[in-house]
Amino acid sequence: MQSIRWCFHQMDSFAEAVLMAANLGDDADTTTAIVGQVAGAYYGVQGIPEDWLRKVWMREHIQSTADALMQMGEIQKGDRFI
């Protein structure tokens, strides 16, 4: 957990944080996955390098699912469902 926090707080972008985590060694795959999730939530999709996004399998499906979930959250926010 310390390495995840360190990578996120030491770097100024999504790419820097993820690359730092990937180069730590030890359990780098798990650390990098979690750093990517945290940095992605913080920087948003616009913070992810476009050349990385182009390589995401089923990108359009993932984006449309995320958009639908966001809409559901907005609709149900007033109902205190979430």
Q: Tally Cβ neighbours within 10 Å of residue 43.
A: 15
Residue 60 domain boundaries: 50-82
- Residue 74's pLDDT band, with cuts at 50, 70 and 90, is confident
- Same-domain check for residues 14 and 28: yes
* Confidence bin at 77 (pLDDT 50/70/90): low
> What is the mean pLDDT of the segment spanning 10-38?
93
pLDDT (tens digit, 9 = 90+) per residue, 48-66? 999 999 999 999 999 999 9
| Statement to judge: residues 1 and 38 lie in one domain | yes
What distance in Å separates the CA atoms of residue 69 and residue 2, rounded to the nearest whole number? 31
